[in-house]
Chain A
Amino acid sequence: MAGTLAEKVWADHVVRLGENGEPDLLYIDLQLLHEVTSPQAFDGLRQEGRTPRRLDQQLATEDHNTPTIDIDKPIADLTSRTQIDTLRRNAEEFGVRIHSLGDVDQGIVHVVGPQLGLTMPGITVVCGDSHTSTHGAFGALAFGIGTSEVEHVLATQTLPLNPFKTMAITVDGTLKPGVTAKDIILAVIAKIGTGGGAGYVLEYRGEAIRTLSMEGRMTICNMSIEAGARAGMIAPDETTFEYVQGRPHAPQGADWDEAVEYWKTLRSEDDATFDTEVHIDADDLEPFVTWGTNPGQGLPLSASVPAPEDFTDDNARVAAENALEYMDLVPGTPLKDIKVDTVFMGSCTNGRIEDLRAFASVLEGRRKHPEVRVMVVPGSARVRLQAEKEGLDQIFLAFGAEWRQAGCSMCLGMNPDQLAPGERAASTSNRNFEGRQGKGGRTHLVSPVVAAATAVRGTLSTPSDLGAPTAPSDLQPVA
């Protein structure tokens, strides 16, 4: 069968082809739910007297509103508590599986799905959250939807959709040490712009993608939406199969063999044509950081803050002016001279075990900069347990960081973890929008290793900016 990966998965899920300009009706294998974008969808079902069509293809978790400390106490913010309670009541009333705060399988929805083995190659996944694109790392067609669509999927397990265009993003070559999946995707967004992917499914391919772990691939697909694309995909391979095999909901025995047989067909044919192709050379990439207020406003860390006059496009120039004012940055300032107040390590972009390991590898034997607050938030309760099993928590605590419970935390200002007005953060999350991490807060998006080096020096830094660490025995205990 000719075609791209995205077209193959699409074709295998068409319930009904649209006629006369109607969209296709696409089958949805898995819907993930959380407290923020589901209450009005359940309400809609109730008003119309409808019930969920496939309860065995729904999974709910609590993540956006949940606090990351004192989780055994009632949630202090009343509206947050109401929203969580509403999800719990809806799950109970309709019979939806839910992993609540305190449950060992609770966590950020995009960390929990893959962890349970529910996310598989070739399936369609939706969630009322734009970072659903994460699951595309498995070769799934996964995209964020609005609340009306959440209700639609609950009621019908389908969505009427027009086919996407396809864009190949080929990343050839080899990443230099200290350059990571996060730097690839920040470079991609800087290259194609925050609207460059609008209407497309992005397929990431090439040597530098093939050599990434599943965690790295999830980081890349996660931020496809920041380039305007609803979905990003990576063809499944042995790395994917190895990650899925043995997980709680992964196929077993003969089913596993049948599944893998099918999954191996999920790659773009050599003669497949993409609507657009983009090439990036991994050898040229450096650690990246954003300086502005959208994820496309990024540069290598070795660069300086740009001036609005550097942009020829009117909209880009005005956007840069607004961004520099909000970020309180002066053109020409070396990015590495920018001081930060807070380092946030976590989120659905970089809150998995490999991310925590990378962060810890830079911190080990070091002490945080005295004026920097460092928050480490695992993406799920299981990631937290795994990190503790590996002793990473001890490294974080010895460094002077806060080691918290699982959730979306400081990625977005919905829970108690927020920046104060004017506070500046280096953050491993996905959005540097005005006020995203708290009203008036300023965000620089970075990789886990850049976040770690920044926490040591107090200014935006890469691990290569650090001297040799102190032997752990020479460190004084943290007061």
Chain B
Amino acid sequence: MEAFTTHTGIGVPLRRSNVDTDQIIPAVYLKRVTKTGFDDGLFHAWRTNDPDFVLNRPAYTKGSVLVAGPDFGTGSSREHAVWALRDYGFKAVLSSRFADIFRGNAGKQGLVAGVLSEDDLEQLWKILEEAPGTEVTIDLENRQAHAGEAGAVFRFDVDDYTRWRLMEGLDDIGLTLRHEQDITDFEAKRPAWLPKTLPARNAESV
């Protein structure tokens, strides 16, 4: 994973709450077995059917900082939603509330998911709507977003551990495997009756 410190790019105001992962990328795009190339599926229904959709407006098309309403990323656990945002070019999503699984997935893929207060969200939307194409700078170290000519600063939350991993660009599995002995010790103490899928049994074998 690439290390993230700061990023500056066009802010995209998505004035909708409850943007579920089916809207971010419909199920039909989930049939692929690759991990890249999902940008064509991003917000597919809205990009296809609604000429006024924010990403269809030229000033926002090249956006890389998405500013969305509360409960962003609800629903399905599909990491494809994060892959689609990433492949389109988004580096950060700001919202007043994220679904847990989406936020976790974002952290694994180097996409910053920062939580803003509702008041700040409203203010940031206004800045981005009044001057389409306004750039937003995401300063992960200080957990700040800077936007607009007046130099407005918005504080966002990202938990310490995720922030550290994003800034270092660390791979989670590698980090966990440093504690492999702890896992082995834990396994040695597990009761024998816990579920085992192998050898396979079924209704005919009991």
Chain B, 66-121, CB within 8 A of any chain A CB = 69-71, 74-80, 82, 97-101, 104-105, 108-109
A120 to chain B: which residues have CB within 8 Å? Answer: 194-195
Min CB distance, A23 to chain B, in Å? 6
Asked whether A40 and B193 contact (CB < 8 A) given A198-B97, A434-B22, A435-B22, the answer is no
Min CB distance, A79 to chain B, in Å? 4
A249 to chain B: which residues have CB within 8 Å? Answer: 195-197, 201
Contact A39 B33 (CB under 8 A): yes
CA distance A151 to B30 in the complex (A): 17
Classify the interface of chain A: helix, strand, loop or mixed. loop
CA distance A261 to B179 in the complex (A): 31
A27 to chain B: which residues have CB within 8 Å? Answer: 183, 186-187, 190
The verdict on A405 contacting chain B, using a C-beta distance below 8 Å, is: no
Q: Residues of B within 8 Å of A, CB-based: how many?
A: 67
Interchain CB contact (< 8 A) of B33 among A21, A40, A230: A40
CA distance A248 to B203 in the complex (A): 6
Contact A22 B186 (CB under 8 A): no
Chain B, 27-76, CB within 8 A of any chain A CB = 27-28, 30-35, 45, 69-71, 74-76
Asked whether A48 and B173 contact (CB < 8 A) given A123-B195, A259-B193, the answer is yes
Identity of the chain B residue whose Cβ is nearest the Cβ of A292 in the assembled complex? B18
Contact B104 A146 (CB under 8 A): yes
Contact B20 A433 (CB under 8 A): yes
Contact B101 A433 (CB under 8 A): no
Asked whether A433 and B34 contact (CB < 8 A) given A118-B197, A149-B104, A246-B206, the answer is no
B192 to chain A: which residues have CB within 8 Å? Answer: 255
Min CB distance, A364 to chain B, in Å? 27
Q: Residues of A within 8 Å of B, CB-based: how many?
A: 96
Contact B186 A146 (CB under 8 A): no
Contact B173 A50 (CB under 8 A): yes
Contact B182 A25 (CB under 8 A): yes
**Residues in chain A within 8 A of chain B (CB atoms):** 15-16, 18, 21-23, 25, 27, 29-30, 36-37, 39-40, 43, 48, 50, 53-59, 64-65, 77, 79-80, 82-83, 86, 97, 104-105, 116-120, 123, 128-130, 132, 144-149, 151-152, 155-158, 160, 162, 193-195, 198-199, 225-226, 228-230, 246-249, 251, 255-256, 258-259, 262, 294, 296, 315-316, 318-319, 322, 382, 412-414, 431, 433-436, 439
**Residues in chain B within 8 A of chain A (CB atoms):** 15-18, 20, 22-23, 26-28, 30-35, 45, 69-71, 74-80, 82, 97-101, 104-105, 108-109, 159-161, 164, 172-173, 175-177, 179-180, 182-183, 186-187, 190-198, 200-203, 205-206
